[in-house]
Structure 1
Protein backbone atom coordinates (compact mmCIF):
# COMPACT_ATOMS: atom_id res chain seq x y z
CA UNK A 1 0.00 0.00 0.00
CA UNK A 2 1.22 3.50 -0.77
CA UNK A 3 0.11 7.04 0.00
CA UNK A 4 1.60 10.30 -1.28
CA UNK A 5 0.98 13.41 0.84
CA UNK A 6 1.84 16.99 -0.06
CA UNK A 7 1.90 20.19 1.96
CA UNK A 8 0.60 23.44 0.50
CA UNK A 9 3.62 25.65 -0.24
CA UNK A 10 4.19 28.81 1.77
CA UNK A 11 6.14 31.50 -0.07
CA UNK A 12 8.62 30.70 -2.82
CA UNK A 13 9.66 27.28 -1.44
CA UNK A 14 8.61 24.20 -3.39
CA UNK A 15 5.98 22.08 -1.63
CA UNK A 16 7.05 19.41 0.83
CA UNK A 17 5.99 15.83 0.28
CA UNK A 18 5.91 12.56 2.16
CA UNK A 19 5.45 9.18 0.54
CA UNK A 20 4.65 6.20 2.75
CA UNK A 21 4.97 2.71 1.28
CA UNK A 22 4.21 -0.56 3.05
CA UNK A 23 5.42 -3.73 1.37
CA UNK A 24 6.43 -7.30 2.26
CA UNK A 25 10.12 -8.14 2.29
CA UNK A 26 11.79 -11.30 1.01
CA UNK A 27 12.04 -12.90 4.46
CA UNK A 28 8.37 -12.84 5.47
CA UNK A 29 8.48 -9.50 7.28
CA UNK A 30 7.21 -6.06 6.31
CA UNK A 31 8.97 -2.82 5.41
CA UNK A 32 7.62 0.70 5.93
CA UNK A 33 9.39 3.18 3.65
CA UNK A 34 9.15 6.90 4.45
CA UNK A 35 10.40 9.23 1.73
CA UNK A 36 10.38 12.94 2.56
CA UNK A 37 11.62 16.08 0.86
CA UNK A 38 10.78 19.03 -1.35
CA UNK A 39 9.33 18.39 -4.78
CA UNK A 40 12.14 18.78 -7.30
CA UNK A 41 14.81 18.70 -4.58
CA UNK A 42 16.67 16.30 -2.37
CA UNK A 43 14.83 13.60 -0.48
CA UNK A 44 15.46 11.35 2.48
CA UNK A 45 14.44 7.68 2.66
CA UNK A 46 13.98 5.84 5.96
CA UNK A 47 13.13 2.16 6.40
CA UNK A 48 11.41 0.46 9.32
CA UNK A 49 11.26 -3.32 9.53
CA UNK A 50 8.40 -5.25 11.13
CA UNK A 51 7.93 -8.96 11.75
CA UNK A 52 4.16 -9.04 11.33
CA UNK A 53 1.68 -7.29 9.07
CA UNK A 54 -0.53 -5.97 11.87
CA UNK A 55 2.31 -4.01 13.48
CA UNK A 56 3.41 -2.68 10.10
CA UNK A 57 -0.11 -1.57 9.18
CA UNK A 58 -0.53 0.15 12.54
CA UNK A 59 2.76 2.03 12.05
CA UNK A 60 1.72 3.00 8.49
CA UNK A 61 -1.64 4.36 9.66
CA UNK A 62 -0.07 6.22 12.59
CA UNK A 63 2.54 7.84 10.32
CA UNK A 64 -0.16 8.84 7.81
CA UNK A 65 -2.45 10.27 10.50
CA UNK A 66 0.42 12.26 12.06
CA UNK A 67 1.18 13.89 8.71
CA UNK A 68 -2.50 14.69 8.11
CA UNK A 69 -2.55 16.47 11.49
CA UNK A 70 0.51 18.49 10.40
CA UNK A 71 -1.36 19.87 7.38
CA UNK A 72 -0.35 17.46 4.63
CA UNK A 73 -3.00 16.48 2.10
CA UNK A 74 -3.36 13.12 0.36
CA UNK A 75 -2.70 13.45 -3.38
CA UNK A 76 -2.27 9.79 -4.41
CA UNK A 77 -3.30 6.44 -2.94
CA UNK A 78 -2.46 2.94 -4.13
CA UNK A 79 -3.23 -0.35 -2.44
CA UNK A 80 -5.80 -1.55 0.04
CA UNK A 81 -7.75 1.02 2.08
CA UNK A 82 -4.98 3.30 3.41
CA UNK A 83 -7.40 6.17 4.03
CA UNK A 84 -9.35 4.62 6.89
CA UNK A 85 -8.50 6.67 9.95
CA UNK A 86 -8.38 5.02 13.33
CA UNK A 87 -9.78 6.97 16.32
Structure 2
Protein backbone atom coordinates (compact mmCIF):
# COMPACT_ATOMS: atom_id res chain seq x y z
CA UNK A 1 0.00 0.00 0.00
CA UNK A 2 1.31 3.44 -0.90
CA UNK A 3 1.66 5.93 1.95
CA UNK A 4 0.98 9.59 1.21
CA UNK A 5 2.17 12.36 3.51
CA UNK A 6 0.29 15.63 3.73
CA UNK A 7 1.23 18.79 5.63
CA UNK A 8 -0.57 22.05 6.23
CA UNK A 9 0.91 25.02 8.09
CA UNK A 10 -0.72 28.39 8.83
CA UNK A 11 0.21 31.44 10.87
CA UNK A 12 -1.89 34.21 12.31
CA UNK A 13 -0.09 37.40 13.30
CA UNK A 14 -1.81 40.53 14.59
CA UNK A 15 0.63 43.02 16.12
CA UNK A 16 -2.15 45.28 17.46
CA UNK A 17 -3.39 42.41 19.67
CA UNK A 18 0.10 40.97 20.39
CA UNK A 19 -1.02 37.75 18.70
CA UNK A 20 1.38 35.38 16.92
CA UNK A 21 0.01 31.85 16.56
CA UNK A 22 0.73 28.83 14.40
CA UNK A 23 -1.43 25.92 13.34
CA UNK A 24 -0.02 22.76 11.74
CA UNK A 25 -1.67 19.55 10.58
CA UNK A 26 -0.13 16.47 8.98
CA UNK A 27 -1.08 12.92 8.06
CA UNK A 28 1.75 10.49 8.84
CA UNK A 29 2.14 6.71 8.85
CA UNK A 30 2.20 5.00 12.23
CA UNK A 31 4.20 1.96 13.32
CA UNK A 32 1.31 -0.47 12.78
CA UNK A 33 0.61 0.28 9.10
CA UNK A 34 -2.19 2.77 9.75
CA UNK A 35 -2.32 6.53 9.57
CA UNK A 36 -2.09 9.21 12.21
CA UNK A 37 -3.51 12.73 12.07
CA UNK A 38 -1.06 15.00 13.94
CA UNK A 39 -2.26 18.47 14.94
CA UNK A 40 -0.04 21.14 16.49
CA UNK A 41 -0.90 24.65 17.62
CA UNK A 42 0.43 27.39 19.85
CA UNK A 43 2.31 30.65 20.02
CA UNK A 44 5.04 31.17 17.41
CA UNK A 45 8.45 30.51 18.96
CA UNK A 46 7.16 27.93 21.46
CA UNK A 47 6.68 24.19 21.27
CA UNK A 48 2.90 24.57 21.56
CA UNK A 49 0.52 21.68 22.00
CA UNK A 50 0.07 18.49 20.02
CA UNK A 51 -2.71 15.98 19.52
CA UNK A 52 -2.40 12.65 17.65
CA UNK A 53 -5.42 10.69 16.42
CA UNK A 54 -4.84 7.16 15.05
CA UNK A 55 -6.84 5.65 12.19
TM range, smaller chain: 0.7 to 0.9
Q: Give the greater-gyration-radius structure (CA).
A: 2
Unmatched runs of 5 consecutive residues or more in structure 1: 51-87
Rounded to whole Å, the distance in 2 between the matches of 1:27 and 1:42 is 27
CA RMSD of aligned residues (A): 1.6
Unmatched runs of 5 consecutive residues or more in structure 2: 1-5
**Structure with bigger RCO (C-alpha 8 Å, 6+ apart):** 1
**Which is richer in strand?**
2
TM-score, scaled to structure 1: 0.50
Give every structure 1 segment of 4 or more consecutive aligned residues whose post-TM-superposition deviation is greater than 4 Å: none
TM-score, scaled to structure 2: 0.75
**Which is richer in helix?**
1
